[in-house]
Structure 1
Amino acid sequence: MLNRRHFVAIAAVSAALLSSTSAIAADAHKVGILIPGSKSDKGWMESGYNGLLAAQEKYGENLEVQMIENINYADMEQALTQLAMGNELVIGVGGQTQQAVYKIAQRFPDTKFSIVGGNEGMEASNVAGYDVKQAEIAFVAGAAAAMMSENGAVSYVGGMEIPSIVNAGKEFGAGAKYINPDIKYFEAYTGDFDDVAGSKEATLAAINQGADVHYHILNLGLRGMEQAATENGTHIIGSYSNYCGTDPLYIAYSITGVGYQVEYAIDQLVEGTWEPGYMPFGLAMGKDASDMIVCEGDEEMKATLEEIMQKLLDGEISTLEG
């Protein structure tokens, strides 16, 4: 069984989400969501949570939500089982939920499951996989980093060394070299999206070799990159959501619509148009799904990035999957 703190988390979050409504409609749609990390990580998980809040605001009393966050991998199947027992739709936020979702989906054939960060290649009649196309927008982030770097050196830190995360790192480097073939590029993986010490160590190693702009696919591990950058006067390109103007440490943000896809899954449920299967998002789905925001870049820089994104859309530039 899930331990007590997870049951408390479900009840507390449900109450918070529903506090703006006086009651839940008898025929309200029921959605369960598993956010494996912290909903306050300034990254993937927070973006997913923001999408959930947007859906709750949109549908009000017609949507009843349960959420489990910050779950250990060993407890993931049990968490999904708990959510599947009482909801029409269960959303796994992150590719790390994919294996467990497909396993639990077999036990609940009448429940719909959506995976934000799902990969192509796995199929089930009640599972939808939404590919955020991180490698695609990472190429654009790399181009932005190269244009903003004063030292001609940039770095990337990923969490788990799995294909989608590695491919994003490779494309970040490729995007940087697209702008500056001579740029120095440093790439590292901590093995854990929440490893603060590991991400700080990796970022410091890159800084010591000249890197002054950093990119990441991390959750709470981002705190370590922030510490390293703050201590050394370097800067970060953030991921997932646009928070320009809130922290001078961040000079740009790549939009990877995790929250957009959470909201999309709920919209599809409510509208009766939800379908299983693999679905790529990325730049082709519009700027809410994927975009590159430079907080204070000049017009020439922004035009160059728009040109690169159009070339990606047109197939003139191709990237790895992930």
Structure 2
Amino acid sequence: MNATFKFFLFTFLFIFSSKNYIYASTNIAVILHGGPDLQKEGTTNESTVKGAREACTPPICNLELTNPKDETEAEYKSLLSKVAPNNDFFITQGYFAQKATHEMADKYPGKKFGIINFEFTPPVKNIASILFAEDQQGFVAGLLAAEISKKKNKKVAVIGGADIPSVKRKVNGFANGVKHACEDCTAYCLYSKSFVNENNESQGIFNAILNIKGIDVVYNAASITGTIALKNLTAHGIYGIGDTTDEWVTNWAYGSVAGSENLLTSIVQDYQVVVRDTIGTMLKNNFVAGGLVKHGLNLDSENSAIKFADCHEACEINTPNLKENMQKYIDKITKRQIDVGIDHKSGRSKISPEGSSCTMLEINKHNTMKDNDENRRSGSDHDHERKSAVANISSTSSITLFLINSIIILVLIFH
């Protein structure tokens, strides 16, 4: 092998190898949800950490995982200001991080940012708004609720959070799913004023649903507010469907809370999948900022950003046959044989002429819990309260591919 040929071969292999490892020195910062607790099992923070560590390993990138002390705009601003100078790519999460994320993106226009569960409108050129497909979440919850209820009283309900588009996508998606599986079932819907049980409104929600005789299944799409109401409803024998995390683990405390046997499942947002895929696209130089990135159902459940949690104690109701039917629904949704029928921008139903297939319920504002503080604590495990975190965790590495390429180059040069 002559010297000229060796030179060109070396150059080609070096460029090829460099293309695969173009971000070998990339520093990635992942900001978790705020709160004083360290890693808590089942939370989105735990899932985020798994996804980040799986995708980002030296020498491909260096990972910095940090958490704010509190879930406040000021805390996110302080933390992002500290990590921004030394990192190239950032993942933040949720409403309280949005202002700090925008400020840092303006300050560092050459760097890229991704924010999960918040959408910038209008878009920011170096920020990707990364959302779970809330309409699909609501729709599959509605399908499941209807499949159970159509053999019973044909009445189901959804507890929505604040009346905003992202919540409407879940609520109206739920109602559309109910109507798809059971045309003569009634989907009762209501919206709370807050996600954190302000003024103890969960009691009014509980009363409003309990007053409708014969409600079979209730879906929680209202974070802490919904969790507290749903705990009381399941304790009264009504079947429940959780949301975001496996609530049987995070909020029914592995079956130690009354009514846990009536929690059918939860519609989980798998942060591990989303964070892993987001970092992966960045490392491959395929990350696109300045718009919306949606993660939804996938035929491969392991790689699906939205999935059903285990049935745990409720498997006699959420049977294998029912699970098989739900998988058939998911297959049709992913193949676009079923349209969930929700307008993303407004959250309104495109199927119903009124913009919603819901029968709306009013919350009785005069009802209050017997012990407000105790019930607030009972909902504090919900992941939306942002209390789980991991600080400055170093990653492990897997460099097999890099070493193989290096050995090939050396062998060819000195052959």
Deviation at 1:103, TM superposition (A): 4.1
CA distance in 2, matches of 1:299, 1:236: 18
* Structure ranking higher in strand proportion: 1
Instruction: Report the secondary structure of 2:67's partner residue.
Output: strand
Aligned equivalent of 1:283: 297
Q: Is the 8 A contact 2:161 2:226 kept in 1?
A: no
Deviation at 1:83, TM superposition (A): 4.3
The equivalences for 1:100-111 within 5 A come to 101-111=101-111
Tell whether 2:184 aligns with 1:182: yes
CA distance in 2, matches of 1:176, 1:54: 33
Aligned equivalent of 1:6: none
CA distance in 1, matches of 2:326, 2:285: 37
Aligned equivalent of 2:275: 262
Q: Is the 8 A contact 2:34 2:69 kept in 1?
A: yes
Q: Which letter maps to 1:234?
A: I
Instruction: Report the secondary structure of 1:220's partner residue.
Output: helix
Deviation at 1:119, TM superposition (A): 3.6
Q: Normalising to structure 2: TM-score of the pair?
A: 0.61
Aligned equivalent of 2:339: 317
Where does structure 2 lack aligned partners over 5 or more consecutive residues?
A: 1-24, 256-260, 348-415
Larger RCO, structure (CA 8 Å, separation 6 or more): 2
Tell whether 2:196 aligns with 1:198: no
Report the structure number with the largest CA radius of gyration.
2
- Which of 325, 329, 338 does residue 308 from structure 1 map onto? 329
Over aligned residues, Cα RMSD in angstroms?
3.5
Deviation at 1:53, TM superposition (A): 3.6
* Alignment length (residue pairs): 296
Q: Which letter maps to 1:173?
A: A
Identity %: 22
Cα deviations by residue, 1:164-210 (Å, 9 ceiling, x for unpaired): 11121011012112222232322222232222732343133212213
CA distance in 2, matches of 1:66, 1:232: 40
Q: Which letter maps to 1:153?
A: K
Where does structure 1 lack aligned partners over 5 or more consecutive residues?
A: 1-26
Deviation at 1:58, TM superposition (A): 6.3
Q: Taking structure 1 as reference, are residues 54 and 286 closer, same or farther at Cα in structure 2, changes over 3 Å only? A: same
Aligned equivalent of 1:234: 238
Q: Normalising to structure 1: TM-score of the pair?
A: 0.76
- Which of 219, 222, 228 does residue 224 from structure 1 map onto? 228
Cα deviations by residue, 1:281-312 (Å, 9 ceiling, x for unpaired): 11258433123456222344223322322332
CA distance in 2, matches of 1:30, 1:164: 28
CA distance in 1, matches of 2:56, 2:209: 46
Tell whether 2:37 aligns with 1:52: no
CA distance in 1, matches of 2:262, 2:340: 30
Aligned equivalent of 1:31: 29
